[in-house]
Copies of this chain bind each other. A is one copy, B any other.
Amino acid sequence: MTTSARRAPARVPQEERSRAMRSRLLVATVECLVEHGWAGTSTTLVSQRAGVSRGAQLHHFPTKNDLVLAAVEHVTLAREDDLVGLVRAGAGRTRAVLAALAELYTGPLFTAALELWVAARTDPALHEAVVELEARVGRDAHRRTVEALGIDEAAPGNRELVQATLDLVRGLGLATTLTDDAGRRAHILDRWAAVLDAELVRPEGVLP
C-alpha cells in the first residue's frame, strides 16, 4: 500500500487509487481504535493517519460508524482468509487451526472489534448494524474453522465443539486485551487440541 501510495499519481488509474485510499482508511481506523479506543477515534484523526483528504474520506465513508463497521468487516475477512486458509491436513492440524484462530482473536483486529462491540451495546443505531455484521463474520469464521479442521459439521456434537472453540478463543482474546499471557494461552490451546482430537467425530479413516 505504501509503495502504491508513493507512485506518481498520474500513472495509477483512478479506480486503483480509490481502492488504495479506501484500504488505507480502513487500516488506519483499526490502528486508531487500538491506540485511542472508541471515544478517542475520530474521522479527522483517521484521515490524517491515512494521508487521505477529508473530502475523499467523507466520500468513501460519510460517518464514523460507516468507517468503523467497514474497517472491522474488511480486516476480519482478509485476516480469516490469510490465517485459517493456510492450515493443511496432517499431524498437528488441530493445534495449527487453534494457533491461527488465537492469532486472529488476540491481535489488533480483535481489539478494534471489541471497541466497536462495546460502543454498540449502548448505541441503538450502531447496535443493529453490529449485530448484522457479527452474524455475517461469525458464520464465515465458523465455516472456515470447519473446513480447516477437515470435519463434517453434520456429525453429532461437531457443530457445538466448533462453536465452543470460537467462544474459547474470543474469551482468550478478551483476557489478552488486559495482559498478554502467551504461556498460559499455549497450555490451554494444547489441552483444547487434545480434547478436540478425542471428541470431534471425523469420517472413518480420516486422521486430523
Interface positions of A (Cβ within 8 A of B): 35-37, 39-40, 111, 114-115, 117-122, 127, 130-131, 134, 157, 160-161, 163-164, 166-175, 177-179, 184, 187-188, 190-192, 194-195, 198-199
Residues of chain B within 8 A (CB-CB) of A198 are 198-199
Q: List 17 A-B contacts (CB under 8 A).
A: A37-B121, A39-B39, A114-B118, A121-B177, A121-B178, A127-B178, A157-B194, A160-B191, A161-B195, A169-B171, A170-B170, A170-B174, A170-B175, A171-B172, A174-B174, A198-B198, A198-B199
Q: Which of B36, B122, B163, B164 contacts A40 (CB 8 A)?
A: B122
A172–B120 Cα gap in the complex (Å)?
A: 17
Q: Are B177 and A174 in contact, CB atoms less than 8 angstroms apart?
A: no
Tell me the minimal C-beta distance from A182 to chain B in angstroms: 14
Q: Are A167 and B175 in contact, CB atoms less than 8 angstroms apart?
A: yes
Q: Are A122 and B37 in contact, CB atoms less than 8 angstroms apart?
A: yes
Additional 19 contacts, C-beta under 8 A, given A114-B118, A174-B174, A198-B198: A35-B122, A37-B119, A37-B121, A40-B122, A114-B174, A117-B178, A130-B178, A131-B178, A160-B191, A163-B187, A164-B191, A164-B195, A167-B168, A167-B172, A168-B171, A169-B171, A170-B174, A195-B199, A199-B199
Tell me the minimal C-beta distance from A133 to chain B in angstroms: 10
Residues of chain B within 8 A (CB-CB) of A173 are 171
Q: Are B179 and A168 in contact, CB atoms less than 8 angstroms apart?
A: no
A76–B121 Cα gap in the complex (Å)?
A: 21
Q: Are B177 and A163 in contact, CB atoms less than 8 angstroms apart?
A: no
Q: Which of B122, B157, B172, B178 contacts A191 (CB 8 A)?
A: B157
Q: 4 shortest A-B CB distances, which residue pairs?
A: A171-B171, A167-B171, A170-B171, A160-B191
A134–B181 Cα gap in the complex (Å)?
A: 13
Residues of chain B within 8 A (CB-CB) of A35 are 122
Q: Are B167 and A118 in contact, CB atoms less than 8 angstroms apart?
A: no
Tell me the minimal C-beta distance from A122 to chain B in angstroms: 4
